[in-house]
Amino acid sequence: MREVVMECRNLWKIYGDIIAVKDVSLQIREGEIKIIFGPSGSGKTTLLRCLGLLTKPTKGEIFLRGECLTRPGIKLNKYRARIGFVFQHIWLFHHLTALQNVELGLRRVLKLPKDEARRRAMQALREVRMERWANHYPAQLSGGQQQRVGIARALAMDPEIILLDEPTSALDPELTGEVIDTLRDLAKEGRTMLIASHEMGFAREVADEMIFLDEGTIIERGPPEHFFTNPRTERARRFMARLIKQTMRER
């Protein structure tokens, strides 16, 4: 069995009287791809942000290669650098070109020399097929291109795991394809990824496991085939039916 890269145990996140994440435990092993899906407001974003150390969980533990990241006094930035994060709304740095967006972490966090940072940033842009656009600013790129730069920005840091929060859901339908293609490439390379996504075709193709989240908690989990053929819970069944219908309509 391959090594566990990231794990959370009994994770809770409570805002006031709203429970956003409720007792979630999961493991992602080296090279695994897990897809989280569920209705909006089901806690996907909050869960990913907790795992990305961008939101402090209320209770529970998070581990990266066996190291506990939720113990007090931990240097968060050191670990954030080892976890890639791709945002739903992309959030590129507006004042930097695509290349500079990718270079920033390499220069300032990994402290690479200029040439080395440039080389690695270009390499990452090549991987998402954006090297031609290296010197364009975010506002000069389409949504799909921006998201590919967002992926390159995370990728360049050579993270141990990449967390992707609905990377295509803020894009126009005709632009999702190019981002999905990029993710498919990463999957082929054997990257470890935890992806919140409703792209069912993609999920079916690459996911080792799908996790159905509702009201902040895991309702059902299993390999894609399980969800496509025979979901156990009524909630998952209904949600799958709705997603499949929606996908058909988009085509």
Partner 1 sequence: MEFILEYLPLIIEGFIVTVEVTFFGVVMGLILGTLLAIGDLYGGKIISTLIKIYVEFFRGSSIVVQLFIFYYTIPSMLNTTIDSFIVGLIVFGLNSAAYQKGYIKGAMEAVYEDQMTAALSLGLTKAQAIMYVILPQALRIVIPAWSNEFTSLAKSTAALLVIGERELASAGKTIAAQTWRVLETYTFIAIIYLAWISIVTKILDIIYEKVKIPGIEITT
Q: By the criterion CB under 8 A, which residues form the site for partner 1?
A: 52, 54, 76-83, 85, 87, 89, 91-95, 104-105, 108-109, 137-140, 153-154, 157
- Measured from the CB atom, is 95 or 249 closer to partner 1? 95
Distance CA 248, CA 120 (A): 40
Q: Residue 163 pairs with which residues in a beta bridge?
A: 85, 194
Phi–psi pair at 42, nearest 5 degrees: -85, -5
Number of continuous H segments (helices) and E segments (strands) in the chain: 9, 10
Shortest separation between residue 89's beta carbon and partner 1, angstroms: 7
- Helix (H), strand (E) at residue 232: none
Amino acid present at 12: W
Q: Does an H or E element contain 213, and which?
A: strand 209-214
Find the shortest distance in angstroms from Cβ 205 to partner 1: 27
**Shortest distance in whole angstroms from residue 80 CB to partner 1:** 4
- Minimum separation from the CB atom of position 120 to partner 1 (A): 13
Tell the smallest beta-carbon distance from residue 90 to partner 1 (Å). 9
In the bound state with partner 1, the residue whose beta carbon lies nearer, of 2 and 94, is: 94
What is the spatial distance between Cα 140 and Cα 178, in angstroms, rounded to a whole number? 17
Nearer to partner 1, 19 or 104 (CB): 104
Of 2 and 75, the one with the shorter C-beta distance to partner 1 is 75
Using the minimum distance from each CB to partner 1, give the nearer residue, 186 or 219: 186
Of 88, 53, 86, 105, residue with least CA distance to 194:
86
How far is 233 from 85, CA to CA, in rounded Å? Answer: 31
Angle subtended by helix axes 114-127 and 173-188, to nearest 10:
110
- Residue 236 CB, nearest approach to partner 1 (Å): 30
Return the number of the residue (101 or 182) whose C-beta is nearest partner 1: 101
